[in-house]
Amino acid sequence: ENNLLQVKDLHVSFSTYNGEVKAVRGVSFDVRKGETVAVVGESGCGKSVTSQSIMRLIPRPPGVFKKGEILFNGKDLTKLREQEMEKIRGKEIAMIFQDPMTSLNPTMTVGRQIMEGLIKHQHLSKDKAKVRALEMLRLVGIPSPESRINQYPHQFSGGMRQRAMIAIALACAPKLLIADEPTTALDVTIQAQILDLMNELKEKLNTSIILITHDLGVVAETADRVVVMYAGKVIESGTVEEIFYHPRHPYTWGLMGSMPRLDQTREQELNPITGTPPDLLSPPKGCPFAARCKHAMKICTQEMPETTVVGRDGFHQVACWLEHPMAPAVEPPAEVVG
């Protein structure tokens, strides 16, 4: 069994005054040992809710776990008692966020924050934890760790804070790291350094990574596989090569077409997908992309297309009526396939 994580038919809603917002509607995907899976899509597509569900960080209420399984090393996380989940969180599954200040404790030195997990989860002595904390600071590329270890988060620059957060997350060598827009707030140079760092750590520690992002450049740099989400559903998934070079879903075509390319002029670059995603208070019963899709057919608004395996490697899956044998042949737009 090479799968570290299997998310199966996950449904998560939020109760609001207006009714039930069905944020995640039957999401399934796997993460194998040592691989990076990017989850991409516009804001509100359910990618953050999915990752927070894996960590069981959705506040209930207003969050409601409707159904599904989240198998981590074969154990269903949705069925664990909070006490058991606490042992997994931070130790076996760690998370980093876009804004390090939301997860760093401003009143505690960075060193103490790295040491805490080591003392709590790995039962290290204070001295041993400190040695390990220094190692981690060095590993994430923080200069002069001996003096930095006693500093507070506000004494770190934005990029350094991000590194500190990664050091905390990885100190206990988690099997799975969930990174939600980890570089969005950083400038391009530091962003590249953090991504290199994550790739390096993945190699060194064999950590699996779920990378939540809307930045396809970041995906190309780091991911092995891509899961494309739209309106609370996975509409396409596959290897980076398949998704970037042979995308099959019209929404993915739109995403790829909106990616800036070196050979394009500024004017051609702007190729957003017009329209907005459906209201998840009352999601459409057919394909959620139908209202924005150039290729929508009658069936698209009537019935949700099934997920079909396409391509040759067996991993590429797409949920679109165009894959139906009776559908008309539609070619991806030229700007997508080059």
Please give the residue ranges that form the binding site for Mg ion (CB under 5 A).
48
Q: Which of 58, 51, 160 is nearest to 101 (CA)?
A: 160
CB of 284 to ligand SF4, least distance (A): 10
Gap between the Cα atoms of 149 and 168, Å rounded: 12
Alpha carbon distance, N-terminus to C-terminus of the chain: 38
Interface residue with ligand SF4 among 287, 316, 317, 336 (CB under 6 A) is 287
228 binds ligand SF4 (CB under 6 A): no
Interface residue with ligand SF4 among 295, 315, 332, 333 (CB under 6 A) is 295
Gap between the Cα atoms of 331 and 189, Å rounded: 37
Q: How far is CA 185 from CA 99, 110, 157, 181, 226, in A?
A: 7, 20, 12, 8, 22
The tokens describing 199, both together, are 């790739």
CB of 279 to ligand SF4, least distance (A): 17
Contacting ligand SF4 within 158-217 (CB under 6 A)? none
Number of residues engaging ligand SF4 in binding (CB under 6 A): 14
CB 279: neighbour CB atoms within 10 A? 12
Q: How far is CA 196 from CA 126, 202, 326, in A?
A: 30, 10, 45
CB of 62 to Mg ion, least distance (A): 17
Q: What is the x/- site pattern for ligand SF4, positions 309-328, by CB under 6 A? A: -----------xxx------
Amino acid identity, position 158: G
CB of 75 to ligand SF4, least distance (A): 35
250 binds ligand SF4 (CB under 6 A): yes
Residues in the chain: 338
Pick what 321 binds: Mg ion, ligand SF4, none; C-beta below 5 to 8 Å, kind-dependent. Answer: ligand SF4
289 binds ligand SF4 (CB under 6 A): yes
Residues that bind ligand SF4 (CB under 6 A): 249-250, 287, 289-290, 293, 295-297, 300, 305, 320-322
